[in-house]
Amino acid sequence: MEFILFLIFSFICIAAVLNMLFQKESVYCALSLVVCMASLACLYLLLQAPFAAAIQIIIYAGAVMVLFLFVIMLLDPRSDSGSGRPRRMLFLATVLGISLFAALAVFLSRSQSFLNSGHPKPAAGQIGAVEVGLALFHRYLIPLEAVGILILMATLGAVLLAKKKI
């Protein structure tokens, strides 16, 4: 059952990404990325990480991609002018992508048996907000504080850069 669900959602995810690559309108690209992110959230659920799934929907699909859509609507750019990239670039991109994938896949598959056996699997069930919160405020306190500063800085920067009259 789990395997079938995995197949379904990974298929949706890959199809959405391929659609994004071949779409001309940027609105459709953004929407297919939303689909991809939503199916990734389902995969997180399969991996016993409901907290990650929830924030994937809330932050990524909900906030970041909506921001993208807002900007697209605001600017209303003309669609990609039909010609696209020159053929040489297309070839280069394909070769590069295949080789990157092949390299990563080889490294990962070489260590396959380690990944399946190496870690003692803890009996703990799902990773919910409680476990995440405990780890976040103990072990990962410093990165959390730094992220706070980072978001303040990004807010400041977005206003400085984009506001018409400061």
Partner 1 sequence: MNDSILYWALLPEILAGAGGIFIVLLTPFLRGSRDRGSRLIPGLTLLILLGAMVALFTVARDLPQSPMKELSFSGDTFSLSFRFLLLLICAVISLAARPFLEREEIFRGEFYALLLFIYLGMALLSGSQDLLSTFVGLEVLSIGCYILLGLKRSDLRANEAAWKYFLLGSISSAFFLYGIAMVFGATGSTRYADLFALMGSHSDKQATLLLNCGLALIFVGLAFKLALVPFHSWAADVYEGAPSLIVAFFSTAPKVAAMAALMRFFNFHFPRMHYSAGHFAGWIAVASMTLGNLAAISQQNVKRMLAYSSIAHAGYMILAIFIDNETADTTLFIYLLAYSMMNLGAFLILSLLSGKGDLCVSLHDLSGLAERRPGLAALLSLFLLSLTGIPLTGGFTAKFYLFGSALKNGLVGLVIIAVLNSAVSAYYYLRPVVHMYMKPLPESPSPAEVPPVPIGFALAIGTAALAILWLGILPSFWLEFAEKVNLALK
Partner 2 sequence: MTVPIIYYLGLSALLFALGSVGLLLKRNLLVQFMCVELMLNAANLAFVAFSQGRADGSVIVFIVMAVAAAEAGVGLALVVVLFRNRNSLDSEDFRLMKG
Q: Which is nearer to partner 1, 8 or 94 (CB)?
A: 94
Q: Are 39 and 13 in contact (CB under 8 A)?
A: yes
Q: Measure CA of the first residue to CA of the last residue in the chain; give whole Å.
A: 56
Q: Are 56 and 16 in contact (CB under 8 A)?
A: no
Reading the block at residue 148, the tokens are 């706070």
Site for partner 2 in 77-136 (CB under 8 A): 77-78, 80-81, 84-85, 89-90, 92-94, 96-98, 100-101, 104-105, 108-109, 112, 115-116, 119, 121-122, 124-125, 127, 131-132, 134-136
H or E element in which residue 23 lies: none
Place of tokens 């459709």: 28
57 binds partner 2 (CB under 8 A): no
Look at residue 166 and give its three-state secondary structure. Answer: coil
DSSP category for residue 56? I
Q: Which does 8 bind (CB under 5 to 8 A by kind): partner 2, partner 1, none?
A: none
147 binds partner 1 (CB under 8 A): yes
Q: Which does 110 bind (CB under 5 to 8 A by kind): partner 1, partner 2, none?
A: partner 1
Q: Give the binding site for partner 1 (CB under 8 A).
A: 104, 107-108, 110-115, 118-119, 139-143, 146-147, 149-150, 152-154, 156-157, 160-161, 166
